[in-house]
C-alpha cells in the first residue's frame, strides 16, 4: 500500500518505498524497533568528501542488507541535485526474480 495515498502499489514500488523509509530512518528512533533504520541521517552534517561518501554508501548497504531481504544491492550512487541537495540512486537486483531495479532520487539531505 502506498504510505501517502493508501492505494495499491506494485511490488517494485513497495520495495522502493521501503528502501526510502529504511535509509531515512535514524537508528534508535523507532520505539519498538531500536535497531531499524540506517546511519545515513547521522552522516548528513559531515564534511562533503570521499570519506563521507564511502560512509554513506556503507551505511546504505548495511541497512538494506539487514532490513530489505527482497533486494541485493549492486551499486549506490550519491550526487547533488540542481538545488545542491544530496541525493542517492540505488541499483539492485530482486532476490526472488533477479529483476534489476533502479531506485532513484532518494533524498538524503534535509
Q: 88: helix, coil or strand?
A: strand
pLDDT beyond 80 at 109: no
Model pLDDT for residues 26-85, shown as the tens digit of each residue? 999 988 999 999 999 999 888 889 999 999 999 999 999 999 999 999 999 999 888 888
- Confidence grade of residue 91 (pLDDT, cut at 50, 70, 90): very high
The DSSP annotation for 50-79 comes to HHHHHHHHHHHHHHHHHH-TTEEEEEEEEE
Query: Options 1.10.3720.10, 3.10.450.40, 3.30.70.260, 1.10.20.140; which CATH number does 11-107 get?
Result: 3.10.450.40
Q: Which residue has the cell 556503507?
A: 58
Domain boundary assignment for the chain: 11-107
Amino acid at each position: 500500500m502506498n504510505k501517502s495515498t493508501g492505494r495499491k502499489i506494485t511490488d517494485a514500488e513497495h520495495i522502493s518505498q521501503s528502501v526510502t523509509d529504511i535509509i531515512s530512518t535514524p537508528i534508535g528512533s523507532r520505539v519498538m524497533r531500536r535497531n531499524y533504520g540506517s546511519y545515513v541521517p547521522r552522516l548528513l552534517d559531515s564534511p562533503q568528501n570521499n570519506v563521507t561518501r564511502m560512509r554513506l554508501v556503507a551505511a546504505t548497504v548495511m541497512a538494506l542488507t539487514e532490513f530489505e531481504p527482497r533486494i541485493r544491492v549492486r551499486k549506490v550512487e550519491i550526487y547533488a541535485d540542481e538545488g545542491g541537495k544530496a541525493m542517492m540512486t540505488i541499483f539492485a537486483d530482486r532476490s526472488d526474480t533477479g529483476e534489476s531495479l533502479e531506485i532513484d532520487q532518494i533524498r538524503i539531505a534535509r
